[in-house]
Structure 1
Amino acid sequence: MTVNFTPTQILAGIGVLLVLVAVWRYSARKARRAADAARASSRVVSLASRVLLTGAGFVGVQWLVLAHVHNPTLVLVVLGVPDLIAAYVLTRAVTVTSMDTTSTGASRRRGGGRR
């Protein structure tokens, strides 16, 4: 059994293969973008839950000390330590320490993945 292809059939087959590869690459990129977006949104939710949990812990300890302890030094410590922690975190958050040059595209790798 012999298979004979005409040049037109060979070119059509190569064209179909190229289209399949292009569609496959496009779908892989789209899936990667969707996964990155899902990761970014889960980071926001995770951060928000940690902030709320820590804030609830601070409020609970402050309420206990203010309601049941009449030592002014302890009250000042309980009210002052969370303020110092918040000031430290906010100062670090708004302080620029370096320039991010990866977003310009000059140092991006082809393929978009880690290597």
Structure 2
Amino acid sequence: MTFNLTPEQLLAGVGVLLALLWVWRAGARRARAAADAARAGARLLSLFGRVVFTAGLIVGVQWIVITHPATSKWLLLAVLGLPALFASYALTRALTVTTLDTPRRRGRGRR
């Protein structure tokens, strides 16, 4: 079985193959961008969860010490002061940009 293809048909076939390759690569790029966006959203949600958990833990410990009267003023000061330090640390970390999400480059050469 032999095929008799004209140059126009051969050129059209190559064009279709190139179009399919272009669509496939565009879909892969779109999927990678969606995955990066989802990863960034999950990172933010994870940070929010850790901050809320820490705040709940701090409030719980303070509530226990305040409702059960302690004989020592130093204990009350420690229970109110130390969590304030932890809270300020957590807030500083939450509000500080520590990484830059830059697009990946192919190769390791310099620009």
Please give the range of the TM-score, normalised by the shorter of the 2 chains: 0.7 to 0.9
Cα offset, 1:89, TM superposition: 4.1
Greater shift after overlay, 19-28 or 88-97? Answer: 88-97
- Relative contact order (alpha carbons < 8 A, sep ≥ 6): 1 or 2 greater? 2
Gaps of 5+ in 1: none
Return the offset for 1:67.
0.9
Which one-letter code corresponds to 1:84 in the other structure? Answer: L
Identity fraction in percent: 58
- Matching of residue 73 in structure 1 with residue 74 in structure 2: yes
C-alpha distance 52-95 of structure 1, shift in aligned 2 (>3 A): closer
Distance 2:44 2:93 in 1: 18
2:87 is aligned to 86
> What is the CA–CA distance in structure 2 between the aligned matches of 1:21 and 1:5, rounded to whole Å?
22
TM-score, with normalisation over the residues of structure 2? 0.80
Match for residue 41 of structure 1?
Answer: 41
TM-score by length of 1: 0.77
- Who is 2:10 aligned against? 10
Q: Aligned residue pairs: how many?
A: 106
Aligned equivalents of 2:75, 2:82: Cα separation in 1: 11
State the 1:8 CA deviation.
0.6
Please tell me the root mean square deviation across aligned C-alpha atoms, in Å: 2.7
* Aligned-pair CA distance for 1:86: 2.8
> Which stretches in structure 2 are left out of the alignment for 5+ residues?
none
